[in-house]
Amino acid sequence: MRIVVLAGGIGGARFLRGLKQAAPDADITVIGNTGDDIHLFGLKVCPDLDTVMYTLGGGINEEQGWGRADETFHLKEELAAYGVGPEWFGLGDRDFATHIVRTQMIAAGFPLSAVTQALCDRWKPGVHLVPMTDDRVETHVAVELDGERKAVHFQEYWVRLRASVPAEAVVPVGAEQAKPAPGVLEAIAEADVILFPPSNPVVSVGTILAVPGIREAIADAGVPVVGLSPIVGDAPVRGMADKVLAAVGVESTAAAVAEHYGSGLLDGWLVDTVDAESVTRVKAAGILCRAVPLMMTDLDATAQMAREALTLAEEVREA
C-alpha cells in the first residue's frame, strides 16, 4: 500500500509514528511543509522537515516535540554573548549540525529535496521525506504590533509572539511561483490513499496545498483523501491553530476545518468522540465522517487513529 501524508511539524510527526506502527509494510511518502523554514545565523533551518526526521529517526526531544534529545545550548549562549540574535529561536548544539550540513549542501548547488534525502540517509526515518518544493516559500503573518500593521515571519509570530496578537492574514510568500519538488506529484499520482494528519490546516497542510499543482494532483488522484481533525472540542489539540484559522475566516471547530478543505479535496474526515455531533454537518458537506478518539496520548492510541483513517479510506473506496 502506498500512502502519501501531508505533514507539518509535531502533530504530523507523531501521527506518522502511529501510521508506521499501524501499517508497517506500507510505502509512505511524506510531503513536508517548508513554509516555516527560516534563515538564522546564515543557516537554512527547516523546522517541520527536521521534526519529522528526528521523530521518526529516534533523535527527537520527546518532551518538547521538537529539537534534539540530549541537547545543549552552548553555541546559542555564545551567540547571545556576542549580541547576536534572535534569542527566541531555540537552536541547540546538536541541531546546529543539521543546519550546517544543509546549508553547505545548498551552497554547493544541491536542491533541498536532495539535501533532505542525504540527511535522511543518516536518520533512516522509514518514510520517503520530500519537501513540498525546492523553491523558497516563506509563510508571513500580517499583524498589528505597536499600532503598526506589519508582516512577520511565521516563526516570529509563532515562537516569539506566541500568537499573542491576532493574525490578520497568513501569506505563503513565494508559493505561487513555487514548483512541487521532484517526486511530489509522482507520489500523489501513485498513491493508494492520501492522509492529512492532525497538522495545522492553514500554516502546515494549507501551505503545502498552496504550491500550484499539489492541490489539483490530490483532487485528481482518484484515491481516498482522508483527514484527521486537529481541533478537538473547539480547541486545537496542541499549538495555536485557532489563531491562524481566524485569519482565513474559519471557525475553530472540527466541522469547519473539514468544510474549509471541502469535498472537492477531502473524501473522509475523522473527528474526536467529543465532537460526535459534528458528524452530521460534515456528512452534509459531502464528506464521509466518523467520530473516534483523536488524542495522540501514546503510540498505541496514535496507531489506532491511523488505523481508523485507513479504515475510513476503505469505506470511501467502497462507497
Annotated binding site: 50
User: Which one among 26, 69, 101, 173 touches a second copy, defined by CB under 8 A?
Assistant: 101
Work out whether 319 is an interface residue with a second copy (CB under 8 A): no
Closer residue to a second copy in complex, CB, 115/203: 115
Is 88 one of the binding residues for a second copy (CB under 8 A)? no
Decide if residue 109 touches a second copy (CB under 8 A): no
Binding part of the chain for a second copy, among 4-12, 98-106, 228-236, 263-271 by CB under 8 A, reads: 98-106
Min dist. Cβ of residue 100 to a second copy (A): 5
3-state per-residue secondary structure call for the chain: CEEEEEECCHHHHHHHHHHHHHCCCCEEEEEECCCCCEEECCEEECHHHHHHHHHHHCCECCCCCCCECCCCCHHHHHHHHCCCCCCCCCCCHHHHHHHHHHHHHHHCCCCHHHHHHHHHHHHCCCCEEEECECCCCEEEEEEEECCEEEEEEHHHHHHHCCCCCCCCEEEEECHHHCCECCCHHHHHHHCCEEEECCCCCCCCHHHHHCCCCHHHHHHHCCCCEEEECCEECCEECCCCHHHHHHHCCCCCCHHHHHHHHCCCCCCEEEECHHHHHHHHHHHHCCCEEEECCCCCCCHHHHHHHHHHHHHHHHHHHHC
| 107 or 301: CB nearest a second copy | 107
**Which one of the spans 39-47, 226-234, 261-269, 277-285 is the region binding a second copy (CB under 8 A)?**
39-47
Residue 84 lies near a second copy (rule: CB under 8 A): yes
Any contact of residue 79 with a second copy (CB under 8 A)? yes
At its nearest, how many Å lie between a second copy and the CB of residue 41? 5
Q: Does 94 bind a second copy (CB under 8 A)?
A: yes
* Among the listed residues 24, 42, 147, 249, the single contact to a second copy using CB under 8 A: 42
Residue 124 contacts a second copy per CB under 8 A:
no
Q: Which of 7, 49, 56, 119 binds a second copy (CB under 8 A)?
A: 119
Point out which residues bind a second copy (CB under 8 A): 41-43, 71-72, 74-79, 81-84, 92-94, 96-98, 100-101, 103-104, 107, 119, 122
